[in-house]
Amino acid sequence: MVDKSLMDNFERRFILLGGKGGVGKTSISASIAVTFANDGQKTLIISTDPAHSLSDSFDQDLSGGELVNLDGFDNLFAMEINPQEAGGDLKSFAGVETGDEAVGDIMNTLSSLGFDEMGDLFDTMPPGVDEALALAKVIQFLEDEQFQDFKRIIFDTAPTGHTLRLLSLPDFLDSFIGKIYKMRIKMSNMASAFKSMMGVASQRDPSLEIMDNLKKHVTKVQEMFRDPIGTEFMIVTIPTIMAANESSRLAEQLKIEGINVNEVIINQIMPDNTDCKYCHVRAKNQNENLKFMEILFDRYNITEIPFFDKEVRGVEALTSMGKSIFI
């Protein structure tokens, strides 16, 4: 079971859950959030997975990127962040899609001369940038006064591949945003000169300040991931060799990145049923895999979650799953 002391360790404010797609991360994230809320702790659960399923878990519409109070609770809230929108915001801040008309004119002129550096930068952005920016946006939200009294903040993250890319992205993004910042200054200076020639007064460019703030928030994402006191990363997996190996790689990468991982949650474990040939064979295979996983994850606390014969959806089902995690 998950270390019971986590329930009373209020310094561990951020809990991130990651793992292979389809292992039940969202259900487990939601059930942990419900468990904290049932314990009287004001809790926020945030999904940064592009394929959101948090709304399905709670059977409540959480789309829109806004804070939603979950039905039946006065201390449990949820939010689904759209990573693609976050990436779009960066383009807007940089002046690629919207912004000052004069800057746009100059960029079009440069593009016609073969100097479309700003556009080229965005065309070569590596996978995972959207997710990193989404997390940066979340950190910005969490600094708002309305979030200060949340005791627990749970992150339902994207599948393993996204998470691994995400871990190496803050350093890249710092450099990437720095390049955009410099280009934007050049564009703004050219726009100011153009306006001066036309007799139009120059105006302050707020996007530069926005980019500067975004750089600071990306750095805070990195700091939040690596905070050994305030953050716990839980790996969610299932009892298959493929999932086990992928989870092991994630654990090793997290260790390299200096991220605190103590818990491995193995979900969907079938009970043995000799009256059902398929169930019996599957349970036997899982038992063999579990022995392998006990050795593979011998440095971690392993929590085994049984297979639920009904869809884990709604507060009652999530509460039941939460009991199998903590008790």
SS3 62: coil
The CA-to-CA distance between both ends of the chain, in Å, stands at 7
Among 166, 23, 28, 192, which Cα is nearest to 86's?
166
- Tell me which residue has tokens 């975004």: 214
CA distance 149 to 130: 28
The pLDDT of residue 125: 56
Pairing of strands 68-69, 14-18: unpaired
Segment 93-121 mean pLDDT: 48
Q: Tell me which residue of 185, 181, 175 sits closest to 211, measured CA to CA.
A: 181
The H-assigned helical ranges of the chain are 25-38, 54-58, 83-94, 101-112, 117-123, 129-142, 160-198, 206-226, 241-256, 277-296, 315-326
- How many residues would you count in the chain? 327
How confident is the model at residue 1, as a pLDDT?
75
Write out the two tokens for 53: 């399923």
- Cβ-count burial 79-112 (b if 16+ within 10 Å, e if not): bbbbbeebbbbbbebbbbeebbebbbebbeebee
Residue indicated by tokens 């990651």: 18
pLDDT confidence of residue 161: 63
Exposure string of 120-132, with b = 16+ CB inside 10 Å and e = fewer, is ebbeeeeebbbbb
Is 29 or 198 the better-scoring residue by pLDDT? 29
Percent of the chain with pLDDT over 70: 65
Q: Does residue 221 surpass a pLDDT of 70?
A: yes
**Entry pTM:** 0.79
Whether the pLDDT of residue 101 is over 80: the answer is no
State phi, psi for 241 to the nearest 5 degrees: -65, -40
Q: What percent of the chain has pLDDT over 90?
A: 39
Place of tokens 């979030």: 147
Of 3, 8, 39, 49, which one is the catalytic site residue?
49
Cβ neighbours for 211, distance < 8 A, ≥ 6 positions apart:
93, 94, 177, 180, 181, 184
Say which DSSP state 262 is in: -
Is 3 designated active site?
A: no
From the list 259, 238, 262, 200, the residue with the least C-alpha distance to 23 is 238
225-243 pLDDT, tens digit each: 889 899 999 999 999 999 9
State yes or no: pLDDT of 285 exceeds 90. yes
CB distance 67 to 146 below 8 Å: yes
- Which CATH number among 1.10.150.120, 3.30.470.20, 3.40.50.720, 3.40.50.300 corresponds to the domain 4-83+150-165+225-326? 3.40.50.300
Name the least confident of 139-153, 166-180, 254-268.
166-180
pLDDT of amino acid 81? 78
Please tell me the distance from the alpha carbon of residue 6 to that of residue 18, in angstroms, as a whole number.
18
Give, as one character, the DSSP assignment of residue 114.
T
Q: Which of 55, 41, 46 is nearest to 12 (CA)?
A: 41
In the predicted model, is pLDDT for residue 112 greater than 60? no
* Of the candidates 291, 325, 288, the residue with the CA atom closest to the CA atom of residue 308: 325
Sorted by where each begins, the domain ranges of the chain are 4-83+150-165+225-326, 86-128+170-214
- Give the count of alpha carbons within 13 A of 217, CB side only: 21
Helices 277-296, 241-256: axis angle to 10 degrees equals: 20
pLDDT tens readout for residues 161-196: 666 666 665 566 666 667 777 776 776 676 666 556
> What tokens does 274 get?
């000799």
Would you state the structure tokens that stand for residue 43, as one six-digit string?
């809790």
CB 15 within 8 A of CB 234: yes
Residue 206 has a pLDDT of 59
Q: What is the pLDDT of residue 115?
A: 42
